[in-house]
Amino acid sequence: MFFAAFVISGVAQWRSGTVARRGARRNRYTSTRLDSLDTSAFEQRLGYTFQQRELLRRALTHKSYSHESREGDVRHNETYEFLGDSVLGFVIGDLLFREFPQLDEGALSKMKAFLVSAPSLAAKARDYGMGEVILLGVGEEKTGGRKKDSLLANLFEAVIAAVFLDGGIDAARQLIERTFNEDIRQIDQQDLLFRDYKTALQEAAQGRGLPLPEYRVVDEVGPDHDKVFVVEVKLAGLTARGEGSSKKEAQQQAARQALSDFGEQYGT
C-alpha cells in the first residue's frame, strides 16, 4: 500500500513538473519573440524609425499570437487596422483629389477603391516584407498566414496606424505618398474603371435607355488546365467577342470591344 502510494505520488510530481517545464518554455519562447523582435531592417525598408517601439510591436501582433500567449498583456493589432484604414482612406482620397481635380466623385471613388483594395494592400505589405516580421500564433503560422492577402492587407493598415500614432499625420502621409505615388501616376484616366469594362458598358447602355448587355459563352478551346473561353456580348444590335483564361476575363474583353464599337456607333 505504501509503495503504491509512493509510486502514484512520484508520477503526479513528474507530470506536474513536466507541465510546468513546458509552460515555462512556452512563456520563454513567447516573451523572447516579442521582447527581442528586431525590426531595424524592416524600419529601414519602411523608411520610418519608430520612437515608441511598442506601437510597432502592437501593429505587428496578430490576434492568433495574442490569444496563444501566456503573458498577461499581449495586445493584438485589430483596432490598429481600423485606425489605419481611416488614415489610409483619408490620405489616398486627398492625393487623388489633388491629382485629378477635374474628375467627378464616381471616378475618384473607383480609383480609391482600387488603390486600397485587399490585393493592392497585400502587394504593398509584401514589398515591405511585412509578412516576415508579423507575430503569428502556431496555428496561423502552419496555415500560411504570412502569405494570406487578407492578413497582409490588414497588417499594412495596422502599420499605417502605428506610424500615425508615433509620428502624426505628416509621417503617415509621407509613407503613404512614397508607397502609392507611382500607382497614382500610372492611372489611365481613359480607363477609370480599371478594366471593369462590363460596368462601363452597362452604364453606357443605361445612359442611352437601352436594354442591358447579354453575355454568353460561345466556345471553349484547349485542355482543362489551359482552357480559353470565348464570350459573346450583344447590345442594341451590336455583337462583340472576347477571349480569356476565365469566363469573367472573356466577358471583360468582350465588353471592351463592345465599348469601342458602341462609341463609334453612338459617338460616345
Among residues 175, 202, 186, the alpha carbon closest in space to that of 258 is found at 202
For the chain, what is the domain count?
2
Active site residue 183: no
CB 62 within 8 A of CB 135: yes
pLDDT tens per residue, range 194-242: 457 888 888 888 888 889 999 999 999 877 777 889 999 999 888 999 8
Mean pLDDT in residue range 130-143: 85
Which of 81, 140, 157, 232 is labelled catalytic? 157
Mean pLDDT in residue range 123-143: 88
pLDDT tens per residue, range 12-64: 444 444 434 444 333 333 333 545 567 889 999 999 999 999 999 999 988 88
pLDDT tens per residue, range 232-263: 999 988 899 988 888 888 898 899 888 888 76
121 and 224 assigned to the same domain: no
74 and 143 assigned to the same domain: yes
Residue listed under C-alpha cell 477571349: 243
pLDDT tens per residue, range 70-97: 665 678 889 999 999 999 999 999 999 9
CATH number at residue 120: 1.10.1520.10
Active site residue 157: yes
- Residue 107 has a pLDDT of 81
- Residue 42 has a pLDDT of 93
Among residues 118, 126, 111, 73, the alpha carbon closest in space to that of 195 is found at 111
Residue-number span of the structural domain to which 96 is assigned: 37-191
Determine which of 40-44, 120-124, 148-152, 186-190 has the lowest per-residue pLDDT on average.
186-190
108 and 139 assigned to the same domain: yes
Which of 81, 85, 140, 166 is labelled catalytic? 85
CATH number at residue 229: 3.30.160.20
CB burial string 35-53: b at 16+ within 10 A, e below: eeeebeebbeebebebeee
CB burial string 153-183: b at 16+ within 10 A, e below: bbbbbbbbbbbbbbbeeebbbebbeebbeee
Q: Is the pLDDT of residue 120 over 80?
A: yes
Last residue of a domain, one of 191, 209, 225: 191
169 and 250 assigned to the same domain: no
113 and 202 assigned to the same domain: no
101 and 224 assigned to the same domain: no
The structure's pTM equals 0.61
